[in-house]
Structure 1
Amino acid sequence: MSRRLREKYEDVDLTPGQGKGSATVSIFFGAMALLGALCFLMPELLTMPEFRAAYNPEVLRYALQVSIAISAGFGLYAMARHESPGYGLTGMILALTAALLASGRIEAPDIDSRGLYVGLDYFVLTLVVLALVFIPLERAFPKDRQQSILRKGWITDLKYFMLSHMGVQLISFFTVIPIQVFLHSVTTWDFQLWIASQPLWLQFIEILLVVDLGTYWIHRAMHEVPALWKFHAIHHSTEQMNWLASSRLHLLEILVNRFAGYLPIFVLGFAPSAVYAYLIFISFHAIFIHANVRFRFPVLRWILATPEYHHWHHSSEDAAIDRNYAGFLPIYDVLFRTAYLPKHLASRYGTVSDDIPEGIVGQFWYPFRSWGKGRSRQ
């Protein structure tokens, strides 16, 4: 996307009747349809082996056709109503391209190969599902009523979302695989069998307790060690909170967090069912606590981290700096005296320093260029 188009689509006013919302819907579904068609054409490269057996080709093909129709219909309306017909035309071109790809023989072959893959299907499915959940949620219960869906920085956050979801194989290579190789050479300990035999609900709670204690101190170090803060500052550089903001993480921080989270899970030997439940929970929870929603949860907010609680962690207000490190359990912030939860909601986000680049490439190199320049916290 060109810089001019990117700037025009940052913080877009989606007032009904102007065709802007229709253009957004058209481009979104057109892009998803195009990516879906590519997954059909090159499943061995673009789809995840773990997902292939669960796919129903007929259902996916129908979903692809519906997405094309939605993109074309909304694109046509946007061309008639939007002040710049090019947006609606873009959506229609995406839909037309997807339709042309889908007009040939598109099958979903049974592929057992576990070679190199991208995980494009994982990106498409999660983005569509999360968008259908969180965009209506943020519109119905917004914390910041003036903030639009396409707020400032959304394109950068979408790129991070794509990186983390399409880079599953790369991330696993540097996190899950080293742990599994290490544990393969270690004899199974008796306490691992004992832990795996516990009720799943109890294992789920234990995973939360163990993992969050470790990630609390890693997160705290990211804030208090100057060299590490340069990496974590990327996550805090977003100035408007919404569900996509959770994805803005430097690649090295992703690797550190995944490794630190998987290590105790595998070492302690929790049952796969409990681990899957935990992974599903944290995936949703991490997005929820960044969302632009006004929920307060008077009692729950001291038991489990809520959007209100985590928004204060992102706040650049003086009293909130270096507070609320816990990802799930505020009890750790209470125990280590880093909790902060006043009666009012946070209203200002980002970092005090404004030298962090806006693009994903510049943000990747930022920590390396800024080493030795001191610490500029929020």
Structure 2
Amino acid sequence: MARPRRSFFAYASALLGLLSLMGVACFHFPDLLTSREFRAVYNEQFARHLLLVGLAAAFIMGTLAILRDRNKRIATIGVGSATLAVLLGGSNVQFDAIGQTPYSLGLDWFVLSLFFSALVFVPLERYLGKHVLSPLRPGWRTDVGYFFMSHVLVQFILILVTASTSTIAGLAAFPALKTLIQSMPVWLQFLIAVFVADMAQALLHRAYHNTPWLWRFHAVHHSSRHMDWLAGSRIHFVEIVMTRSCVLLPLLVLGFSTPAINAYVILVGLQAVLAHANLGIRFGWLEYLLVLPRYHHWHHARQQEYVDVNYAIHLPLVDMLMGTFKLPRDQREWPQEYGVMKLETVPKGLLNQHLMPFRARRTFDEYVD
């Protein structure tokens, strides 16, 4: 018996309904659920208008799915979540002045990032994808969980990264070098910062692949059997902290200006999603200048000859200097399979994957497939 097709309207309604409910929660508890740094990026009116659009779309698409008798349970989640969001105040919810708290969650960062990322990449991958792949492909729930964790816990990640780098950066101060770098125009600082950070991350990345205990953490990232915009979110929490600390440390030691570092952070966010995206566009010579989807997809290929290549995140030049550059000349050639070489070494599920590096077991009965 053929499996019934999933309804786009039903799942879109569920996504928008749940995100709208989270958005209302952010209005009710802004000091606890929203990130102070990210609040500076948007204003209240923008958030209210976006919330209104999300609520209306959740109701309309959920109702259409129910009337068409398609994935009614999923559609009901969307309509029910949107209804609860309206009952809790909807886009007209009022909130008091935002107070100061020692810690807060980045729920607003999660809601807006997931909404706009899906809005951009779901259509792009639908029409420009190299592989025919549903947004609801196997493992998508796990990757949404990773996306949620990395965004909601953003402040705690920053605290850990800052704590691990600030002392070392202070001890390794080079005033003359910092003065020289900060005398450069911001665009030049940015370019140098990209190269320095990419070299640092590529060296650590190669260590992840060649050091058994580090590989146990990094194997989680490589365990995704499908590559799309969401797959890049699958990263162990320990690896997030280690990698960001390793990348930030040389930037702080060398004294790059805040605007240059902020520009680099924006590039990291964009390129991390793009490099994993399922986009079959032929970029020509740009593939040798920037890390683009096909380049990074070969790093994730489940093929023995590609297990120790393409470590760069931004610049293929870094791999060329390290002797780890490898890319088929034929731009029509893409990997046919992704994932770790030994599938049974990585269990299913976010919690099990986070516990995996600390367990004595080396194989699992329920593993990624």
Length-normalised TM-score, structure 2: 0.91
- Separation of aligned partners in 2, 1:132 and 1:12: 25
Matched, 1:357 2:347: yes
Question: 5 Å matches for 1:232-243?
Answer: 232-243=218-229
Q: Which residue of 1 aligns with 2:236?
A: 250
Q: Which residue of 1 aligns with 2:87?
A: 100
- Separation of aligned partners in 2, 1:234 and 1:104: 38
* Per-residue deviation, residues 294-315 of structure 1 (Å, max 9, x unmatched): 0231211111111000000000
The equivalent position to 1:116 in structure 2, one of 103, 128, 132, is 103
Q: Which residue of 2 aligns with 1:149?
A: 135
State the identity %: 38
Question: 5 Å matches for 1:291-306?
Answer: 291-306=277-292
- AA partner of residue 120 (structure 1): L
- Separation of aligned partners in 2, 1:354 and 1:228: 17
Q: Which residue of 2 aligns with 1:330?
A: 316
- Separation of aligned partners in 2, 1:126 and 1:335: 34
Q: Which residue of 2 aligns with 1:347?
A: 336
- State whether residues 65 and 72 of structure 2, in contact with CA within 8 Å, keep that contact through their aligned partners in structure 1: yes
- State whether residues 174 and 254 of structure 2, in contact with CA within 8 Å, keep that contact through their aligned partners in structure 1: no
- AA partner of residue 362 (structure 1): N
- State whether residues 12 and 150 of structure 1, in contact with CA within 8 Å, keep that contact through their aligned partners in structure 2: no
Q: Which residue of 1 aligns with 2:204?
A: 218
Q: Tell me whether 29-38 or 114-123 shows the greater mean CA deviation.
A: 114-123
CA shift for structure 1 position 83: 3.9
User: CA 1:368–1:54 in structure 2 vs 1: closer, same or farther (change >3 Å)?
Assistant: closer
- State whether residues 32 and 104 of structure 2, in contact with CA within 8 Å, keep that contact through their aligned partners in structure 1: yes
- Structure 2: unaligned runs, 5 residues or longer: 364-369
The equivalent position to 2:263 in structure 1, one of 277, 297, 309, is 277
Q: Which residue of 2 aligns with 1:31?
A: 18
Q: Tell me whether 277-286 or 323-332 shows the greater mean CA deviation.
A: 323-332
- Separation of aligned partners in 1, 2:187 and 2:4: 44
CA shift for structure 1 position 200: 1.3
User: CA 1:103–1:165 in structure 2 vs 1: closer, same or farther (change >3 Å)?
Assistant: closer
- AA partner of residue 364 (structure 1): H
CA shift for structure 1 position 68: 0.8
Question: 5 Å matches for 1:45-60?
Answer: 45-60=32-47
- Separation of aligned partners in 2, 1:88 and 1:354: 34
Matched, 1:317 2:303: yes
- Separation of aligned partners in 2, 1:104 and 1:276: 31
Q: Which residue of 1 aligns with 2:367?
A: none
Q: Which residue of 2 aligns with 1:5?
A: none
* Per-residue deviation, residues 40-61 of structure 1 (Å, max 9, x unmatched): 0000100111233554323322
- Separation of aligned partners in 2, 1:291 and 1:370: 34
- State whether residues 44 and 111 of structure 1, in contact with CA within 8 Å, keep that contact through their aligned partners in structure 2: yes
* Per-residue deviation, residues 67-86 of structure 1 (Å, max 9, x unmatched): 11110111101112244421
* Per-residue deviation, residues 218-274 of structure 1 (Å, max 9, x unmatched): 101111111111111110100110001111011111111010011111111111111
- Separation of aligned partners in 2, 1:89 and 1:115: 38
- Separation of aligned partners in 2, 1:95 and 1:300: 44
- AA partner of residue 347 (structure 2): P
- Separation of aligned partners in 2, 1:299 and 1:326: 17
Q: Which runs of 4+ in 1 moved over 6 A?
A: 185-188
- State whether residues 47 and 119 of structure 1, in contact with CA within 8 Å, keep that contact through their aligned partners in structure 2: yes
Q: Which residue of 2 aligns with 1:7?
A: none
- Separation of aligned partners in 2, 1:89 and 1:325: 44
- State whether residues 221 and 236 of structure 2, in contact with CA within 8 Å, keep that contact through their aligned partners in structure 1: yes
CA shift for structure 1 position 37: 0.1
CA shift for structure 1 position 109: 4.0
* Per-residue deviation, residues 177-216 of structure 1 (Å, max 9, x unmatched): 3423554577671221221121111111101111111111
* Per-residue deviation, residues 112-151 of structure 1 (Å, max 9, x unmatched): 5152101101111111111111111111201102x11111
- Separation of aligned partners in 2, 1:197 and 1:141: 43
CA shift for structure 1 position 317: 1.5
- State whether residues 27 and 90 of structure 1, in contact with CA within 8 Å, keep that contact through their aligned partners in structure 2: yes
- AA partner of residue 147 (structure 2): F
- Separation of aligned partners in 2, 1:96 and 1:109: 23
Length-normalised TM-score, structure 1: 0.89
CA shift for structure 1 position 372: 7.5
User: CA 1:59–1:213 in structure 2 vs 1: closer, same or farther (change >3 Å)?
Assistant: closer
RMSD over aligned Cα atoms:
2.1
- State whether residues 10 and 71 of structure 2, in contact with CA within 8 Å, keep that contact through their aligned partners in structure 1: no
- Separation of aligned partners in 1, 2:174 and 2:326: 42
Q: Which residue of 2 aligns with 1:180?
A: 166
User: CA 1:55–1:217 in structure 2 vs 1: closer, same or farther (change >3 Å)?
Assistant: closer
- Separation of aligned partners in 2, 1:313 and 1:292: 14
